[in-house]
Amino acid sequence: LRGVVVHLQAARHRELGAIFQVTAEGPRKYRFHIEGLFVLIDKYLRTRSIYRGKAIDGAENFIDVHTVNPDDVVYTPSVQRRLEGDVWSFIRYEKVLAQLGQNGKYAVLFDGPYGSGKTLAAMLTGQIAVEHGWTFLMCRPGQDELVTTFEMARMYQPAVVFAEDVDTMAGPQSGSTIERHLDMMDGIKTKGLKLLAVFTTNHAENIHQGMLRAGRIGAVIRIGGMDRQGVEQLGRRVIGEALDVETDWDKVWAHVDGYMPAFVREVFDRSVRYAITLNGGELGSIGTEPICLAADSLRDQHALMEGAKEDVRQTDLATALERVVVDAVSKVEVVDAEGDYMYEL
């Protein structure tokens, strides 16, 4: 291939962002050889990419989504059905959905209070994604740019983008920032695109209206407290063989009612220590009494969490300047040039 030159360089793509670029130039008689080179490169990247089909964050660091055991996560039947139908089916049955003309781009919002299991649901989504050859990209709040993460997802599709606490970047005061994110997702028009965006929020009421309209968010799943059946199911899984067969689950439910799943899990973990204390240093069986004692021991902490204030949002520049001006002129006496009248601001 005399006269053919291959260039390897970093570049900036108009839609994909930062990329590594391969170009070639040479005599026209070698055009089929050059095209064949790019066919081989494309095949290699599709079959041997170190990122495609893996779980990574916005800085291209690999993450382990299997730290969450699916057997230790229990949702109410309604939430479980929503996760199966509105989220995981998009990954598991992508080919069937494509044949039926379903859109390959989809966004889901997980809404719920702290400790309700939103992040766990996202990690389970990551597990399903990797198992089915999808790339899972986590956009870490305060560390990764959502736009950049979408660009990566576009290159390593089919992909899932997970962005936690989206209300901090999509609130009503976020202005052009959220619009840029929304426009980015709306503007992804790649043929055959497979992209699932999963957002979480603790305050859905603060989400920008433009983000909630049909076509931008496909489904909103409210993940809240557990029901009695779920509490018993989780308790049996966590405590296992040490569980007393005569445990009064109605009484246990009365003591944990109102707790989010994270607190319920802590109750069962803590009941081990209370059982050892009650049995003089031996585990014995874990039944109603140690579980209820553990639940009661978390009551003060739960009350503090419920009443605690969240981080105050950073004031935007316009609001800050407005406050400075108001403070500066407060109680200032103003008179006309002749001194005929005066009023107070």
Long-range contacts, stretch 311-315, CB < 8 angstroms, 24+ apart: 313/168, 313/171, 313/173
Task: Note the pLDDT tens digit of each residue in 293-310.
Answer: 889 888 888 888 777 655
Tell me the Ramachandran region of residue 165: left when phi exceeds 0, alpha when psi lies from -120 to 50, beta otherwise: left
| Sign of the CA dihedral running 161, 163, 167, 172 | negative
Residue 45 has pLDDT above 60, yes or no: yes
For the cut 60, the answer to whether the pLDDT of residue 321 exceeds it is no
What letter represents residue 141's amino acid?
P
Question: Quick one: what percent of the chain has pLDDT higher than 70?
Answer: 78
**What's the confidence (pLDDT) of residue 7?**
92
Above 50 in pLDDT, residue 334? no
- pLDDT (tens digit, 9 = 90+) per residue, 194-222? 889 898 888 777 776 766 776 677 788 88
165 pLDDT above the threshold of 90: no
Q: Which residues of 277-312 are buried (b: 16+ CB within 10 A; e: fewer)?
A: eeeeeeeeebbbbbbbbbbeebeeebeeeeeeeeee
pLDDT of residue 109: 87
Give me the pLDDT at residue 56, please. Answer: 92
| Dihedral, 204, 205, 210, 216 alpha carbons, nearest 10 | 20
Which pLDDT band, with edges at 50, 70 and 90, does 36 fall under? very high
Give the model's pLDDT for residue 100: 84
Q: For the segment 132-152, what is each residue's pLDDT rounded down to a tens digit? A: 999 999 988 878 888 788 888
Q: What is the pLDDT of residue 171?
A: 53
Mean pLDDT of the chain: 80
Please state at what angle helix 261-278 crosses helix 228-239, rounded to 10 degrees.
50
pLDDT of residue 188: 61
Average pLDDT over residues 54-65: 88
* Mean pLDDT lowest among 45-54, 152-161, 163-172, 309-318: 309-318
Residue 310 has what DSSP assignment?
P
Residue 331, pLDDT > 60, answer: no
Q: Which residues are registered as beta bridge partners of 62?
A: 56
Rg (CA), the chain: 28
Longest dimension (CA), the chain: 95
